[in-house]
Structure 1
Amino acid sequence: MPLPFIYELVSNGAPEWAPEWMSDPWRVLQVVVVLGILYLIKRYSSGTTNTAERDMHGRVIMMTGGTSGIGAATARDLATRGAQLVLLTRLPPSHPFLADYIGELREQTNNEMIYAEQVDLTSLHSIRQFATKWIDNAPPRRLDMLILCAATLTPPGGKRTETDEGIEEMWMVNYLANFHLMGILSPALRAQPFDRDVRIIIPTCSSYIASPSLSEALVKKQWSPRKAYARSKLAMMVFGQAFQKHLDAYKRPDDLPMTARVLFADPGFARTPGMRRWLTRGSLWGLAVYTFSYIIPWFLLKDEAQGAQSILYAAIEPSLVRGPGGKFIKECMEVDFARLDVKDDEIAKQLWEASDKLVEKTEKEQAAMRALEKKNRELKEKEKQDAEKAQEMDALVDAIKKGKEKEADKKPSRRQKKKGNNP
């Protein structure tokens, strides 16, 4: 059909029902060129598609951020390939939304091996509770992959927010939570057999390029959402490189080399909830503008599935486990880091030590607060029990008094007895 139609157009010109501009060959050529350019731009902005293939059946993958955005698209693809997923979520598994989400995911992927564990990434205590429970299992649980997709951001113009433990929110969720989780799970990662392909995948973004130096603290006066977000991403990349060296330095009991690899993946710019929050500045007016001009982000940004391609390539491509770890994947290919300090050992050492101190200090403070709260609860519970006992005793005394009064009323007096005796 298309070829005869094109031949008819070339031979006899545009049909009568066609617009007037179609009868002008130059105008038609302009339209074709513009449409071609738009197609190429859309094709370029959609990014590269992952072509790597790998059987994921039987592999245990732990994920953060697997319920929305690029993380959800990654989880869906890996579940379709047969992987067993352990999704770390803020909500408990019994929550209606999470239960429906997992049920839907199981049905869509025909994979029943999808579970959820409650882990609040804004709480060091919650992370430690889960991670210690995981590594205390005997024999050690299988763990083939750790994918850290969870992230948060404060929209432009937003105020600095802190977690309940007093840590700046983006620094906590985007970096310190991952630092804490990976540190505790390190024995589980190192304990995997030599023939097992173990990967730690850290999604990042190009914002790390504009980050201020990690050698200087970001004080509150200099804080801005852009600086804080970029700094958290750079810190995660520096720590990832240091963690790879930490794994490589481990001497296995069987004297075989370490097979665990840290990999970084840049999904590119995609239409995720985080990007939408950034573009709308977290306001209703911004959301209205975003909605009415949706054609622009649709045209220039990837969708969530397209954004997941580089992460999937890092998870699936067999060649990435050959050679050293710490590789950076962008558009499904290995690229170089844009900053030299990502591999700076001195900065990594300072960051690791400062993070350790912050975690230790915060956990001690929170442990003392929990102990005090527990003591207060016990005191209140004791007071409540004592009050209940006092009420019971009062009720018992009242009952005894009432019983005696009734007996006294029923018992006849001496005068009544005399009257009864005298006829």
Structure 2
Amino acid sequence: MPLPFLASLYFDGLPPWFPDPIRLLKVSTALTTIAATKWYTSGRSNGSERDMHGRVVLMTGGTSGIGAATAADLAQRGAQLVLLTRQPPTDPFLVEYIDDLRARTANQMIYAEQVDLADLYSVRQFATRWIDNAPPRRLDMIVLCAATMVPPGGRRVETAEGVEMTWMVNFLANFHLLGILSPAIRAQPFDRDVRIVVPTCSSYISAPKLDGGEEQQQQLVGKKKGGKDGQDWTPGKAYARSKLALMTFAKAYQKHLDAYIRPDELPMNAKVVIVDPGLARSPGTRRWLTRGSLWGLLLYLVFYPFAWLFLKSCEMAAQSLLFATMESSLVRPPGARLIKECMEVDCARKDVEDEEVAKKLWESSDKLIEWIEKEQAVKRARAKKEQEKKDEEAKKEQEKKDEAAKNAAQVEEIESLLGAIKTGKAKEAQKKNGKKGKAGGNIWGRPTHSPLRNSSHCHPVFFTNKLRRPPLHVLSGSQSSPVAHGYVYQDAPRGGEKSAGPRL
């Protein structure tokens, strides 16, 4: 069969149904270029493996984007995940998400803890609860995937504590969390591989220079701490500066862990790993590209093929994070290495490792957190006092209402008792009057009955008004005849002589 076909091609040329070779070459070249571009932009896959069963992982930002893809892969490998979320664990969305993640990964060791990274007090509450345990809780890994950004053209946003939102969530909250959890990290056994994974972004390359001083921290708090609201603030600069500060702190935090002398005098085993996952089609990137508007979202949908071609999926962007959590060579010193595309790379800026800038940044951040927490503690104490005052007033008001209701109930009970007594006395008097009427009779020797009640025994004339006033006595004779007084004689029944004659 192939030989006759090849012979036909040789002697007769291409069959009529075969497409034009030039057009076929163009289409093939285009498809090959698209495939090669997609393969290149998707990045490298993680080839490292590690047994994650029983390992405890604290994770922020694990409910969306790259963090959700990382959490799903770690859960599928058997890790015990503790997701730090802004919503409480009873939130319906969070409950459904965790149930679905448990079902997809066949891992029931997935939990949630409420930690609002925009609130330093919430961060302190969780971290102090975590370290307040004897013996120390197991902790194998901390993955800080949570981040925020303001869309281009957006206005500066501040937290309830007065700190610029991007700086608070991307840097200050992570600084506060790791600072409090430091004793729990250093208390882990020597043979336990503890890693702190810190994602970053290539935008740190274009960030303004970080002096790390208190003056810059004051500008990020605005007028609430006496500083000036930065006039050169833009969403891009704010995001890049927060990532540069986080990388500088990560380098300094590794030195902080290495300087700790263990009681057993063994070297410190915790390692910080900085990861650049690259550009991905995550919710944050989509919000940045659409500028947070519906028209931008419409344009994003129209040009989605280009986003699909040049941006990674969240699953592929998570490969570098998974490499940082599983690669065995990262255990060896030095720490705080930068990972990109599942391999170690050098930092593009040397000031990331500047110890003087890192020291100023650390000290100024400590002072800023101390000042904010003192101010917020005063506000909470004042709010608590006002709430207690309101509760006391409400309690007194409720006591007054209860006392009034109690008095009203007592009055009602007394009135009901008095009514019952009166009713009983009336019934008793009525019974006595009834007994007297039955025992006595009238002057005619007949029992006194009410003419209305016993009308069948009375003559119709007895219903006149004269009968209601009977005479005091009835005399014999014509002058005092009973008839003259309104009485009517009634013929006696026929009988003997003794009964003959009229009878009253």
Question: What is the TM-score with the length of structure 2 in the denominator?
Answer: 0.77
1:220, distance to aligned residue in structure 2 (A)? 2.6
Residue in structure 2 matched with residue 75 of structure 1 by the alignment: 71
Q: Judging changes above 3 Å, is the alpha-carbon distance between structure 1 residues 337 and 9 closer, same or farther for their aligned structure 2 residues?
A: farther
Equivalent residue, structure 1, for 2:258: 248
Partner residue of 1:114 out of 110, 130, 140? 110
Q: Which moved more, 1:204-213 or 1:36-45?
A: 36-45
Q: CA RMSD in A?
A: 2.5
Specify the alignment match of 2:455 in structure 1: none
Match of 1:134 among 130, 135, 138: 130
Letter in 2 for 1:208: Y
Within 2, Cα distance between the matches of 1:38 and 1:289? Answer: 22
The residue number in structure 1 matching 2:235 is 225
Aligned residues of 2:9 and 2:15 also touching (Cα < 8 A): no
1:259 and 2:259 equivalent?
no
More displaced 10-residue stretch of structure 1: 83-92 or 239-248: 83-92
Amino acid at match of 2:182: S
Quick one: which amino acid aligns to residue 169 of structure 2?
V
Question: How big is the shift at 1:403?
Answer: 6.1
- Mean CA deviation greater in 383-392 or 183-192: 383-392
Structure 1 residues 405 and 72, CA, compared in 2 at 3 Å: closer, same or farther? Answer: closer
- Is 2:357 the counterpart of 1:347? yes
The alignment status of 1:38 with 2:34, answered yes or no, reads yes
The one-letter amino acid of 2:360's match is: Q
- Cα distance, 1:255 vs. partner? 0.3
Q: Distance in 2 between matches of 1:9 and 1:51?
A: 49
Is the aligned partner of 1:326 residue 2:326? no
Which among 180, 185, 188 is matched to residue 189 of structure 1?
185
Change beyond 3 A, Cα 1:395–1:80: closer
Q: Which of the residues 375, 391, 405 maps onto 2:401?
A: 391
Percent of aligned pairs sharing the same letter: 59
Aligned twin of 1:379: 389
Per the alignment, in what secondary structure is the counterpart of residue 88 of structure 1? strand
Give the distance between the partners of 2:109 and 2:413, measured in 1 at CA.
Answer: 67
Return the alpha-carbon distance in structure 1 between the equivalents of residues 273 and 420 of structure 2: 91
- State which of 316, 329, 340 in structure 1 corresponds to 2:326: 316
Structure-2 change in CA distance of 1:8 and 1:280 (3 Å) = farther
**1:220 match: secondary structure:** coil
Alpha-carbon distance in structure 1 between the residues aligned to 2:297 and 2:382: 44
The answer to whether the 8 Å contact 2:61/2:84 transfers is yes
- Structure-2 change in CA distance of 1:13 and 1:174 (3 Å): farther
* Alpha-carbon separation, structure 2, partners of 1:341 and 1:8: 70
SS in 2 for 1:308: helix
Structure 1's 112 and 14: CA in aligned 2 closer, same or farther, altered over 3 A? farther
Distance 1:400 1:284, change over 3 A: same
Structure possessing the higher radius of gyration over alpha carbons? 2
Paired with 1:177 and 1:344, the residues of 2 have a C-alpha distance of: 22
CA shift for structure 1 position 13? 6.0
Q: 2:248 aligns with which of 220, 232, 238?
A: 238
Report the 3-state secondary structure (helix = DSSP H, G, I; strand = E; otherwise coil) of the residue aligned with 1:386: helix
- Mark the CA change 1:400 to 1:286 in structure 2 (over 3 Å): closer, same or farther: same
Q: TM-score, normalised by structure 1?
A: 0.91
Matching residue within 152, 169, 176 for 1:173: 169
Report the equivalent of 2:445: none
Q: Distance in 1 between matches of 2:8 and 2:342?
A: 42
- TM superposition shift of 1:138: 1.1
Secondary structure of the corresponding residue to residue 186 of structure 1: helix
Cα gap change, 1:199 to 1:397, in 2 (>3 Å): same
Of 96-105 and 201-210, more deviation after overlay is shown by 96-105
The number of residue pairs the alignment matches comes to 411
Asked if 1:297 corresponds to 2:297, the answer is no
Structure-2 separation of matches of 1:340 and 1:104: 44
Tell me which amino acid in the other structure corresponds to 2:131: I
Which deviations, in whole Å up to 9, do the C-alpha atoms of 1:313-372 show, x marking residues without a partner? 111000011121010000011000001110000100111111101111111111111111
Alpha-carbon shift at residue 409 of structure 1 (Å) = 8.0
Q: 2:279 aligns with which of 269, 272, 279?
A: 269
Query: 1:106 deviation in Å?
Result: 1.2
What residue number does 1:159 align with?
155
Q: Which residue of 2 aligns with 1:27?
A: 23
Aligned equivalent of 1:105? 101
What is the letter of the counterpart of residue 316 of structure 1?
A: M
- What secondary structure, in the 3-state scheme, does the structure 1 residue paired with 2:389 have? helix
List runs of 5+ in structure 2 lacking aligned partners. Answer: 220-228, 423-429, 431-435, 437-504
For the pair 1:288 / 2:298, whether they are aligned, the reply is: yes
In 2, the alpha carbon distance for the partners of 1:109 and 1:344 equals 43
Q: Tell me, what secondary structure is at the counterpart of 1:142? A: coil
Deviations along 1:3-57, one digit per CA (max 9) or x if unpaired, are 99x9799767665445xxx32x333223322222221111110101111111111
Equivalent residue, structure 1, for 2:89 = 93
Question: Which amino acid is the alignment partner of residue 92 of structure 1?
Answer: P
Give, in whole Å, the separation in 2 of the partners of 1:129 and 1:209.
34
What secondary structure, in the 3-state scheme, does the structure 1 residue paired with 2:231 have? helix
Q: 2:476 maps to which residue?
A: none
Choose between structure 1 and 2 for higher RCO, CA contacts under 8 A separated by at least 6 residues. 1
Unaligned runs of 5+ in 1: 413-419
Quote the residue 1:361 is aligned against. Answer: 371
Alpha-carbon distance in 2 for matches of 1:14, 1:357: 81
Give yes or no for contact 2:167–2:239 (8 Å, CA) kept in 1.
yes
